[in-house]
């Protein structure tokens, strides 16, 4: 239990680091960020499909929980949110008011909560599963922090609001990890819901972002991410 919370805290730090990259203004390499998005997408997709799904399907109603998790992210991050995507915010025409940034923050809260639920429920099943999910979640946290801080700033909010926003989603991830072991429905169905959330983030948030840049680095990183998952998975066999 404590391992899940510690790892969720470490992953949440990634949100803050991503936010700091935008807010402290060092030169950010677009290529490196795109490669990280592609790599994270490949790794997360593999973890969701190979590790999380089979465990979730074993539960009564597990498949339904996967679909609900998937739809929850679409509803909160896109249906109810006017403008949010991974990658830095470059669509000036969509930044019509400060509310666009605030909605992006609110839309990311449920997703960020389930990032923590995913890690915590992974550790409830086994150390191996917990660690694999932790790596998967960690890989998309820096891009999440970058995306959120940049949409909050681009929509006209001040830097304090942007700092608050990345701290908010980081806190939500830790909260998800804290609550999972003590709320019975979350302890039971958290992994299945998080499988749907992770599938959405990988296949419907990160992959579309990795489709834009036609470079070998960005395109190749998706396959490398899935391959690295496979190698890590083999190395961790026997480690429970």
| Interacting residues toward Zn ion by CB under 5 A | 89, 91, 115
The angle, 0 to 180 degrees and rounded to 10, between the axes of the packed helices 2-23 and 98-125 is 150
- DSSP line for 76-138: IIIISSSS--SS----GGG--SHHHHHHHHHHHHHHHHHHHHHHHHHHHH-HHHHHHHHHHHH
Q: Do the Cβ atoms of 203 and 222 come closer than 8 Å? A: no
The least CB distance from residue 12 to Zn ion, in Å, is: 10
Q: Which residue of the chain is nearest Zn ion when measured via CB? A: 91
Please identify, using beta-carbon distances, which residue of 91 and 212 lies nearer to Zn ion: 91
Main-chain phi, psi angles of 106, to 5 degrees:
-60, -40
Q: Which is nearer to Zn ion, 13 or 220 (CB)?
A: 13
Q: Which is nearer to Zn ion, 115 or 209 (CB)?
A: 115
**Residue 30 or 61 with smaller CB distance to Zn ion:** 30
CB 36 within 8 A of CB 219: no
Question: In the complex, what is the shortest distance from the CB of residue 90 to Zn ion, in angstroms, rounded to a whole number?
Answer: 6
Report d(CA 160, CA 165) in Å as an integer. Answer: 9
Could you tell me the smallest distance in angstroms from the CB atom of residue 88 to Zn ion?
A: 8
Q: How far is the CB of 70 from Zn ion (least distance, A)?
A: 14
Q: How far is the CB of 204 from Zn ion (least distance, A)?
A: 12
Four-point Cα dihedral 67, 144, 31, 93, nearest 10: 90
How far is 218 from 181, CA to CA, in rounded Å? 37
Count of Cβ atoms closer than 10 Å to residue 238 Cβ: 6
The single residue listed with the structure tokens 């919370």 is 5
Pick between residue 171 and residue 220 the one whose CB is nearest to Zn ion.
171
Min. distance of Cβ 240 from Zn ion in angstroms? 26
CB nearer to Zn ion: pick between 14 and 62: 14
């Amino acid at each position: 239990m404590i391992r899940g919370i510690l790892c969720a805290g470490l992953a949440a730090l990634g949100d803050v680091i991503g936010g700091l990259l935008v807010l402290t203004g060092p030169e950010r390499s677009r290529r490196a960020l795109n490669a990280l998005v592609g790599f994270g997408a490949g790794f997360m997709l593999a973890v969701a499909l190979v590790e999380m799904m089979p465990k979730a399907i074993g539960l009564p109603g597990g498949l339904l929980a996967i679909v609900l998790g998937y739809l929850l992210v679409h509803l909160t991050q896109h249906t109810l949110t006017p403008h949010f995507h991974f990658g830095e915010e470059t669509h000036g025409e969509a930044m019509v008011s400060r509310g666009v940034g605030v909605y992006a923050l609110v839309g990311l809260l449920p997703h960020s909560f389930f990032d923590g639920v995913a890690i915590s429920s992974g550790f409830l099943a086994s150390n191996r599963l917990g660690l694999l999910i932790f790596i998967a979640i960690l890989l998309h946290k820096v891009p999440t922090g970058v995306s959120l801080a940049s949409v909050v700033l681009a929509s006209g909010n001040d830097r304090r609001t942007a700092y608050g926003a990345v701290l908010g989603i980081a806190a939500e991830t830790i909260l998800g990890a804290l609550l999972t072991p003590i709320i019975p429905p979350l302890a039971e169905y958290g992994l299945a819901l998080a499988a749907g959330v992770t599938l959405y983030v990988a296949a419907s948030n990160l992959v579309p972002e990795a489709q834009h840049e036609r470079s070998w680095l960005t395109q190749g990183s998706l396959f490398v991410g899935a391959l690295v998952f496979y190698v890590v998975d083999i190395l961790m066999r026997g480690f429970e």
